[in-house]
Structure formats: C-alpha cells, structure tokens
Amino acid sequence: MTGIIRLGRIPLAPEGVKQRWPFPVGMHLVTGGAGFIGSHLVDALVARGEAVRVLDNLSSGRLEFLEGHAKDQVEIVVCDLLDQTQVRDAMRGIQVVHHLAANPDIRLGIEVTDTDLKQGTLATYNVLEAMRMAGVSNISFSSSSAVYGEAKEMPTSERYGPTLPISLYGASKLASEGLITAWAGTFGARAWIHRFANIVGPRGTHGVIYDFIHKLQRDNTRLEVLGDGRQEKSYMDVVDTVDAMLHIIDRDDGIGASLYNLGTTQTISVTDIAKIVIQATGLEDVEIHYTGGDRGWAGDVPKTWLDVEKLYSSGFVPKMDSRGAVKSCADSLVSEIGLRKPR
Ligand code: NAD
C-alpha cells in the first residue's frame, strides 16, 4: 500500500509554539511512526504542539496506533524507505528527521540474512541521501545496545569499544551509526544517536513480554522460556524513552553527533520477567520450561547492562526502573491482547 493519509491540519510553523529546539520550528518526520516506539514519539511531539509527518510501510506498524491524532497536525505517508523517490518527496518541509523504521526482530537475521542490511543500513542511507538533497540537516536515530555485542565492561558506557556486534541487526545499527556520523562530518548534519536498552510498554508488538503472553494464550498451563532464563537485560518504559529522546535533542546541539545510552540503572532476568507476566495474567500453576543454553537464540547477547550515567547527569531520570517498566508493560499488554484472568 502506498499513499498519503491526512489525519489533520499541517501548518509548517504552528502558531504560538515556543522555540525549544536547537533548530527553527518546523515539521518533524518520524520514520516508523506507526510502530511501537514511533507512535509514542508522535504522541509526545503532538503534545508539544509540533507538526508531524509519519513515514511507514506498515510492515509491523499499525494505523490504529495513530487514530487518536485525527484532529492533530499529523500526516501519514505510507511508503517504503527503500523507495528513494518517495522518501525524497516525504522530506519536503521537514526540519528534523526521527529515524526509527527498521526490522525490529533480531532473530529474523538467522533466517533471512539481508533483512537488516536492507531495512537497516540501506534504509538509513536512503534517509540520509534524501535529507542531503532536500537540505534537511537534523537527524535523531534509534540505535540499540546490540552494537556493543558481548561487551566485557558492565555497565557498558558510550565510551566502550571496540563495538563488535554479534547479530546482523546489531551490525546494521552500527553501520547506520557510521553512515550518520559520516553524513554529519561530510555534509554538516546534526545527529542525535540513542542506543536503546529493551524498550517496553503499551502497543508493544514484539519482544519477550509479548511472546510470553502469546504463548500463555495458546497454552495456559506451560510457558516455554528460550535459554536458561538467566539472561539479564535492562528495560525502559516507552514513554520514558521518548521523553529521554526529546530531552537529549532539547539540551544537546547534536554538533559532531551526540551519543547517549537510553536505559535504566538495573537489569532483570528472563525468569523474573516470566514470573511477572504469569502474575499479570492471573493464571495459576503455570510450569516454566527452559530450552536451555546461556542465550535465547544465535546472536542473542546473554547480558546487556547499559551505563546510563551520561543520560542521568544530563538531568533526565526515567520514571520507571526495569522491574516497574516490565510490570507495567505486562499489565497493559495482557489487557491489549485480551488474555483473560480466570476468576
Ligand atoms: P516497530 O516494528 O514497532 O517499529 C518499526 C516501524 O518501522 C514499523 O512501524 C514498521 O512498519 C516500520 N518499517 C519497517 N521497515 C520499514 C521500511 N522499509 N520503510 C518504512 N517503514 C518501515 O519497532 P519498535 O520497537 O518501535 O522499534 C523502533 C526502532 O527502535 C527500531 O529502529 C528498532 O531497531 C529500535 N530499537 C527498539 C528496541 C525495542 O526494545 N523495541 C530496542 C532497541 C532499538
């Protein structure tokens, strides 16, 4: 499906909007804006009075996530980032690009080896090239802790290196970061690179909590956990995440590319997440079965723990810690997915 769906008015410079960005007020392009994190970012931008254009091919995104914006300054362009002509068209009148569109499924790389290359690296190249041709020079990019691979330092700070990803997804994120800093260095673009922990919350369409709830929907007596359950990662609530992204753009001019880990200070194990999800469903006597091994799949990193000191010392503290974010996500997805609690 290709086309433009207008959800509301689109003034280029909304009246009465206070200048708070390091660039003139103008329209924001959110690639992947119909997705999980992207739709929450659209909510946050609209709440600030900003005009937003969403570019999404709806491969994992859903229009219903944006339904609440029918009266707002939101426009949706349904197209694929691999279509350069359409991406160039979508760049008209844009001041800042928030580039979130990508394949979200790290596991897919095991079976389809060019997905991340196309949906990650090439898509990012197309975004940057369209920006250059349209004279757009601000990009905020959603990267991942996957760029660190199996880091030897925990918690892992932005200064850690060499970054040696072990998944094709992580490789495409690192390649995209490299393209973005190269564009910044060569063409003078300003860039904000956010390396996310695991992001969770309402509208989630993938990830461990989502998988567990679906498994319990199919069989409410048994929960299969990939690996030995001891994999440990940090989690961040999606609303905290988009607030942190905008906080960074607000306070850092992005010159020379600003790089931040986005996460919380603690980790939580997969076994603990399984227990929290089971509790959220209200199910009793669920047996947890482990497939064994130290990781869920080839390319999975058993432990990720981001050093978030740079984010915290910039004045941003997330409202939820890892456990709180997991619990709140489990509650909201149980009601979204409709897994009934027994009486
Ligand atoms: P998501 O799948 O919900 O969102 C991705 C969006 O991009 C979807 O709406 C999809 O339809 C769109 N899209 C994908 N390929 C496209 C293409 N070729 N052209 C146009 N649109 C396309 O995933 P998400 O969890 O919201 O992730 C958003 C970004 O954050 C991604 O870049 C992801 O890699 C990154 N990230 C997410 C997490 C997490 O825990 N969710 C962690 C680290 C990084």
Q: Mean pLDDT across the stretch 217-230?
A: 96
CATH 3.40.50.720 fits domain 3-200+237-262: yes
pLDDT tens profile 14-30? 444 444 556 656 799 99
Tell me if 60 CB under 6 Å of ligand 1. Answer: yes
Tell me if 77 CB under 6 Å of ligand 1. Answer: no
Give the distance (Å) from ligand 1 centre to CA of residue 132: 23
Which regions of the chain carry the CATH code 3.90.25.10?
208-233+266-337
Are residues 234 and 305 in contact, defined by beta-carbon separation less than 8 angstroms? yes
- Per-residue model confidence (pLDDT) at position 19: 46
Q: Mean pLDDT across the stretch 171-189?
A: 96
Give the distance (Å) from ligand 1 centre to CA of residue 61: 8
Atom 4 of ligand 1, residue of closest alpha carbon:
35
Tell me if 39 CB under 6 Å of ligand 1. Answer: no
Tell me if 304 CB under 6 Å of ligand 1. Answer: no
Tell me if 227 CB under 6 Å of ligand 1. Answer: no
- Per-residue model confidence (pLDDT) at position 9: 47
Residue 342 has pLDDT above 70, yes or no: no
Which regions of the chain carry the CATH code 3.40.50.720?
3-200+237-262
Signed CA dihedral, 233, 179, 57, 108: sign only = negative
CATH 3.90.25.10 fits domain 208-233+266-337: yes
Share of residues in the chain with pLDDT > 90 (%): 85
Residue 215 has pLDDT above 60, yes or no: yes
Q: Which of 144, 147, 210 to mutate to test the pocket of ligand 1 (most atoms within 8 A of CB)?
A: 144
Distance CA 73, CA 50 (A): 7
Q: pLDDT averaged over the chain?
A: 92
- Per-residue model confidence (pLDDT) at position 24: 59
C-alpha Rg value of the chain to the nearest Å? 20
- What is the pTM (predicted TM-score) of this model? 0.94
pLDDT tens profile 125-152? 999 999 999 999 999 999 999 999 999 9
Signed CA dihedral, 83, 84, 85, 90: sign only = positive
- Per-residue model confidence (pLDDT) at position 5: 73
List, as one string, the DSSP characters of 87-147.
HHHHTTTEEEEEE--S---GGGGGT-TTHHIIIIIIHHHHHHHHHHHHT--EEEEEEEGGG
Tell me if 242 CB under 6 Å of ligand 1. Answer: no
Q: Mean pLDDT across the stretch 279-286?
A: 95
- Tokens for 113, please give them: 């080896």
Tell me if 205 CB under 6 Å of ligand 1. Answer: yes
Residue 157 has pLDDT above 90, yes or no: yes
Q: Which of 31, 42, 57 to mutate to test the pocket of ligand 1 (most atoms within 8 A of CB)?
A: 57
Lowest mean pLDDT among 32-46, 61-75, 161-175: 61-75
Q: How confident is the model at residue 337 (pLDDT cuts 50, 70, 90)?
A: confident
pLDDT tens profile 183-210? 999 999 999 999 999 999 999 999 999 9
Q: Mean pLDDT across the stretch 72-99?
A: 95
- Per-residue model confidence (pLDDT) at position 256: 87
Residue 214 has pLDDT above 70, yes or no: yes
* C-beta neighbour count of 275 within 10 angstroms: 15
More confident residue, 58 or 4: 58
Residue 339 has pLDDT above 90, yes or no: no
Are residues 234 and 197 in contact, defined by beta-carbon separation less than 8 angstroms? yes
